[in-house]
Amino acid sequence: MELKEYLVEIEKFLQDYLEKSHCKSYVLGLSGGVDSSLVAAIARKAVGKDKLYCYAIDIDSNKADIDDAKEVARQLDLNLEVINLSKTYHRYLKDLKGKDFIRLTKSNLKVRMRMVAFFAYAQEHSGLVLGTDNMDERYVGYFTKYGDGAADVLPIVHLTKSEVRQAAEIYGVSKALALRVPSAGLFEGQTDEGEMGVSYADLDAFLMGKEIAPEAKAKIEHMHVISEHKRIDIPTPAPFKR
């Protein structure tokens, strides 16, 4: 199947799922990155502008990231609202006595705060939250548990990063945004590939069954194993036999 054909299938899936769910809209966090841009474009085409609510949540974010989210909204003609939760985040961190939390804990707190906001807006709009995880990120667990990993629907979870970039351009996202260096913008200089320790090119190749350097292969396989808890249902003991 060609990529364009599969994108039409995703559009149909989003149309059908919204109808079956008896909900009225979709809610999406727009970061300015290519993954959320693609999900926005697909959902916009599938259900229309008035059934898609996009939010950019600023938590000490890089101004360029918010500007990119606004530019995506302009290019795709989206409803976008920018919400600043920076003060809330710092107050929350203070109340948690988290001044000395490690950087990863603080970063994941930001991601989870954003998802709390998205679900709140979804409830207000009788909506469902769209996730933006792609195939690469899902496989190695490069997402925050109960953060960006929490969603009602994962439209692009079967697309590799390179396919996401191609698809974004098909929908009219500018090449500059489609090829933007992937980053969650959680701290200065943060990049996805830097945090993972492996490139998206290697991840794509591995997932397509191609040969890559042994070190990269071992890293990917290790990340997949240790992140299994993020992909499975919440473990429970055996049922109580009454």
The string of pLDDT tens digits covering residues 136-189 is 999 999 999 999 999 999 999 999 999 999 999 999 998 888 888 776 666 667
Structural domains of the chain, count? 1
16 residue type, one letter: D
Contact 39, 141 (CB under 8 A): no
pLDDT per residue as tens digits for the range 115-132: 999 999 999 999 999 999
Question: How wide is the angle at C-alpha 77 spanned by C-alphas 76 and 79, nearest 5°?
Answer: 115
- Residue 215 backbone dihedrals phi, psi, to 5 degrees: -65, -40
Least confident of 45-49, 96-100, 126-130, 183-187: 183-187
Q: What percent of the chain has pLDDT over 70?
A: 97
- Region of 48 please: left (phi>0), alpha (psi -120 to 50) or beta: left
pLDDT per residue as tens digits for the range 57-85: 999 998 999 999 999 999 999 999 999 99
- Give domain status of residue 52, yes or no: yes
Average pLDDT, rounded, for the chain? 94
- Give domain status of residue 153, yes or no: yes
What is the pLDDT, as a whole number, of residue 1? 83
- Give domain status of residue 205, yes or no: no
- Give domain status of residue 154, yes or no: yes
- Give domain status of residue 41, yes or no: yes
Looking at per-residue confidence, does 180 or 239 come out higher? 239
Q: How many residues are listed for the chain in this entry?
A: 242
The CATH number of the domain holding residue 168 is: 3.40.50.620
- Give domain status of residue 222, yes or no: no
Domain limits at 57? Answer: 3-195
- Give domain status of residue 58, yes or no: yes
- Give domain status of residue 217, yes or no: no
